[in-house]
């Protein structure tokens, strides 16, 4: 499949009958988009990108093609009816990495969660103009132990209000807001799932934390930040979706400052035994890469980092669960993940109860 000069993998290209315009649907880092070009007479008919006419961040090639067919392009020329099917077929020939990324986005990004979250908060008697970060804690801390686990994670970080923190795989922004609120510093969040990133920004705006947090779409293993930039990096319940952990930790090691820390808190395998799917991080085994704590330590070491011994945080999770039973939050993860949530959570609870997986924390630092 050809790559163009923007690094896009072009899946399908179609020109207008008069050969004046052309539209490409492309894949980039597991997401999809479309771009519009005009044949430039001043440049010997070369295709010139028309800025502002395309769109990116779609979770499937078909969605990008559908958007292209219905949007601005329809004013320039009519796309052939069969095009969407053609694009779908081309996307099925993408390599395994592209497909994992696309499936992860599909798993998390099914709905528009903001509407459900706000409707639920309203229904439980909250004034939407008076919301604070704490009101969101049942839904925006998408990991075992919720807010309690995030605060605990920070105890090993030496942060001040001047620190720069990156939350990798930020979901809808709960960890970032908690870190920013607790430490008074700015937190940047990145995530693969576009609808989670837009929801994270909207929620920060709603609770008055837009200046303290910022969010963008990115793949954890390929970040657009300078070397040695962040004082701390958090990775909370994200590694289960990433197969190449050495690649991931090499990238996190690159962007963290030499005095900085990387705080990993993932669900890890602690004994043999089968995991039943779906689970909260994956609909099926194809996008699930749950590893043993020893494999994390080996990957961190191979990436040039040193780390603390892994700590099983199951007790802290039990404490958080008993607190939530006494005071159920107004919104919870079923409002983010939809009707499949009880089955996902049930399967995870069994795997935890049977001692197959556990929530494990590791703190890593650059060597020397
Ligand atoms: C279980 S959620 C955890 C969200 C957040 N860390 C929290 O604790 O609230 C996992 C998140 O990781 C993101 N993710 C998975 N693979 C990723 C990757 N390669 N790069 C960036 N984000 C990724 C998903 O989109 C999802 O938002």
Q: Is residue 189 part of a domain?
A: yes
Distance CA 148, CA 126 (A): 23
- Find out whether 192 and 217 touch, Cβ atoms under 8 Å: yes
Return all residues near 72 (Cβ < 8 A) that are at least 6 apart.
36, 53
151 and 60 housed in the same domain = no
Q: Look at 8 and 315; give whichever has higher pLDDT.
A: 315
**Nearest protein Cα to ligand 1, atom 7:** 142
- Separation between Cα atoms, residue 293 and residue 77, nearest integer Å: 55
Ligand 1 contacts CB of residue 240 (under 6 A): no
**Together in a domain, 90 and 113:** no
- 336 Cα–ligand 1 center, Å: 13
Shortest-distance atom of ligand 1 to CA 236 = 6
How far is residue 108's CA from residue 194's CA, in Å, rounded to a whole number?
10
Residue range 338-357, pLDDT digits in tens: 889 999 999 999 999 999 99
Task: Indicate if ligand 1 lies below 6 Å from the C-beta of 31.
Answer: no
Co-location of 85 and 120 in the same domain:
no
Q: Is the CB of 30 under 6 A from ligand 1?
A: no
Residues 207 and 318 in one domain: yes
Provide the domain limits for residue 155. Answer: 108-366
Q: Is residue 281 assigned to a domain? A: yes
Residue 1 has pLDDT above 70, yes or no: no
Is the Cβ atom of 147 under 6 angstroms away from ligand 1?
A: no
Question: Does residue 180 surpass a pLDDT of 60?
Answer: yes
**Which three-class secondary structure state does DSSP give residue 254?**
helix
Same domain, 143 and 234: yes
If asked whether residues 309 and 200 sit together in one domain, one would say: yes
Which domain-ending residue is among 94, 117, 135? 94
Q: Is the CB of 366 under 6 A from ligand 1?
A: no
Q: How many CB atoms lie within 10 A of CB 93?
A: 11
Is the minimum distance from the CB of 193 to ligand 1 under 6 angstroms?
yes
For the cut 50, the answer to whether the pLDDT of residue 105 exceeds it is yes
In a shared domain, residues 35 and 120: no
- Determine the distance separating the centroid of ligand 1 and the alpha carbon of 295, expressed in angstroms: 20
Please give the sequence-ordered ranges of beta strands (E in DSSP) within the chain, or none if there are none.
9-15, 21-28, 31-40, 46-49, 55-58, 164-168, 186-191, 213-217, 230-236, 256-269, 305-307, 311-312, 357-366
pLDDT digits (tens, 9 = 90+) for 197-238: 999 999 999 999 999 999 998 899 989 899 999 999 999 999
47-61, 236-250, 329-343 — most confident range: 236-250
Mutational pocket test of ligand 1: of 167, 168, 224, 241, the residue with most ligand atoms within 8 Å of the beta carbon: 241
Residue 304 to residue 256: CA distance in whole angstroms: 12
Record the tokens describing residue 67, joined without a space. 């958007």
Cβ-count burial of 44 within 10 angstroms (0-12 exposed, 13-18 middle, 19+ buried)? exposed
Which among 62, 94, 126 is the end of a domain?
94
One domain, residues 86 and 112? no
CA of 171 to the centre of ligand 1 (A): 5
Same domain? 113 vs 61: no
Whether residues 239 and 361 share a domain: the answer is yes
Residues 86 and 187 in one domain: no
For the chain, what is the domain count? Answer: 2
In a domain, 1, yes or no: no
Domain boundary pick from 94, 116, 143:
94
Confidence of residue 327 (pLDDT cuts 50, 70, 90): confident
């Amino acid at each position: 499949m050809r790559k163009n000069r923007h690094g896009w993998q072009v899946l399908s290209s179609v020109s207008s009958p008069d050969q004046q315009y052309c539209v490409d649907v492309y894949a980039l880092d597991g997401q999809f988009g479309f771009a519009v070009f005009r044949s430039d007479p001043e440049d010997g008919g070369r295709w010139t990108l028309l800025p502002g006419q395309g769109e990116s961040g779609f979770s499937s090639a078909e969605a990008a093609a559908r958007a292209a067919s219905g949007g601005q392009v329809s004013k320039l020329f009519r796309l052939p009816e069969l095009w969407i099917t053609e694009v779908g077929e081309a996307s099925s020939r993408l390599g395994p990495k592209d497909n994992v990324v696309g499936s992860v986005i599909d798993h998390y990004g099914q709905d528009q969660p903001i509407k459900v979250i706000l409707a639920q908060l309203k229904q439980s008697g909250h004034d939407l103009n008076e919301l604070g970060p704490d009101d969101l804690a049942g839904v925006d801390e998408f990991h075992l132990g919720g807010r309690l686990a995030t605060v605990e994670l920070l105890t090993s970080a030496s942060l001040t209000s001047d620190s720069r923190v990156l939350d990798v795989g930020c979901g809808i922004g709960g960890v970032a807001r908690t870190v920013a609120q607790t430490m008074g510093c700015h937190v940047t969040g990145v995530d693969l799932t576009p609808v989670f990133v837009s929801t994270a920004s909207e929620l920060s705006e709603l609770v008055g934390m837009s200046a303290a947090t910022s969010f963008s779409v990115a793949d954890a293993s390929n970040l657009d930040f300078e070397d040695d930039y962040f004082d701390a990096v958090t990775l909370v319940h994200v590694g289960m979706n990433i197969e190449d952990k050495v690649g991931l930790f090499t990238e996190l090691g690159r962007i963290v400052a030499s005095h900085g820390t990387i705080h990993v808190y993932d669900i890890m395998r602690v004994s043999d035994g089968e995991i039943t799917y779906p689970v909260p991080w994956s609909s099926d085994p194809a996008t699930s890469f749950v590893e043993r704590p020893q494999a994390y330590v080996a990957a961190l070491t191979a990436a040039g980092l040193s780390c603390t011994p892994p700590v099983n945080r199951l007790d802290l999770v039990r404490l958080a669960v008993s607190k939530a039973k006494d005071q159920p939050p107004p919104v919870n993860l079923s409002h983010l993940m939809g009707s499949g949530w009880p089955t996902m959570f049930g399967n995870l609870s069994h795997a935890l109860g049977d001692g197959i997986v556990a929530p494990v924390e590791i703190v890593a630092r650059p060597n020397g």
